[in-house]
Amino acid sequence: MTTEISTRLANKAPAEVDQAILSQASQLGVALRAGYKTVFPKGGGSYDMVTGYDVGGSVTQAPAMLRSVQAASTPAETRSIEGWLAELSVLTIPRKGDEMSGEVTLVAYASRLGQYPADIARAALLDHPWKFWPSWVELQDVCDRLNAPRRHMAAALANPAAPEPDPVAPRATHEQTSAILAGAGYTPKRLDEVRRHRMASTDAEMQAADKAPAHHWSETVAPDSPEMEALRKSRDENPLVQEARRMQMAREERQKASA
């Protein structure tokens, strides 16, 4: 089974494998959010390197995703790595005084590359544009960069952060509550009216309230009361009321003239 996995991995590019892992995580509801840093190699240029992952979403699926990442980190068989090393030796120029010679060099490189996923070991050897035979430090740098996403995924999934509880809103003070109600039109006078007329608790009470609507205060006081006199005086002095009365008198006079 391990051989089958490593063989399948070796036929894929590292970025393709990483994307497949992220797609599977998305299907399981696990959110893997990567952090990056920009690296500037001595030889020039730059690239973004993964520095870690945050795990969110359905963290209960983190163990299943961890197993998938571990499977995608299966190393290649030694004979496969040795074959890639032999191919690389043909494609590159030996460094002076550092020629690949003997079984010792082959074993040293193969054993170290066997610590990386199969696709990454192959990509580091054969997909990277080597001109000269690489030193192990150079090869390790490429392997670490390619393996950074999977290594950080595994670390994050092994210790997923517990979901944070929903934040509890602070309780509003009496002054804040009063300001909110006043802004919505609930003045102290209106609130007093609401308190005096409690909400119906049954359909019967609601229907009874509909049948007995509240009367305006002008309908409950005596016609000669001070309140009514003040109301009539206010109406008489209202310019709009005065204009409406003049228009009504003019209509009545026209109707009489045409009769």
Same domain for 150 and 29, yes or no, is yes
DSSP label at residue 224: T
Residue 37 backbone phi and psi in degrees, to 5: -140, 150
Same domain for 55 and 89, yes or no, is yes
Q: What's the pTM?
A: 0.60
pLDDT score of 251: 83
Under the banding of pLDDT at 50, 70 and 90, the label for residue 40 is: confident
Same domain for 129 and 79, yes or no, is yes
Which long-range contacts (C-beta less than 8 Å, at least 24 apart) are formed by 135-142? 135/95, 135/98, 136/108, 136/109, 136/112, 139/109, 139/113, 140/112
Under the banding of pLDDT at 50, 70 and 90, the label for residue 144 is: very high
Please indicate, yes or no, if residue 239 is contained in any of the structural domains. Answer: no
251 vs 259: CA distance, rounded Å = 12
Same domain for 11 and 128, yes or no, is yes
Same domain for 146 and 23, yes or no, is yes
Number of domains, the chain: 2
Please indicate, yes or no, if residue 235 is contained in any of the structural domains. Answer: no
pLDDT score of 84: 94
Same domain for 125 and 56, yes or no, is yes
Mean pLDDT for 208-215 is: 59
CB 133 within 8 A of CB 89: yes
Under the banding of pLDDT at 50, 70 and 90, the label for residue 139 is: very high
> Strand 47-57 to strand 30-39: parallel, antiparallel, or no bridges (unpaired)?
antiparallel
Same domain for 63 and 102, yes or no, is yes
Please indicate, yes or no, if residue 196 is contained in any of the structural domains. Answer: yes
Same domain for 139 and 110, yes or no, is yes
pLDDT score of 211: 57
Mean pLDDT for 216-238 is: 80
Same domain for 71 and 177, yes or no, is no
Residue 108 in this model has a pLDDT that exceeds 80: yes
Same domain for 30 and 144, yes or no, is yes
| Domain enclosing residue 185, as ranges | 173-211
Please indicate, yes or no, if residue 229 is contained in any of the structural domains. Answer: no
Same domain for 78 and 202, yes or no, is no
Please indicate, yes or no, if residue 90 is contained in any of the structural domains. Answer: yes
| pLDDT single digits (tens) 149-208 | 999 999 999 998 755 454 555 777 777 777 776 777 667 777 676 666 666 666 666 666
| pLDDT single digits (tens) 41-80 | 777 788 888 999 999 988 899 999 999 999 999 999 999 9
Please indicate, yes or no, if residue 245 is contained in any of the structural domains. Answer: no
Quote the percentage of the chain above a pLDDT of 90. 43
Same domain for 74 and 124, yes or no, is yes
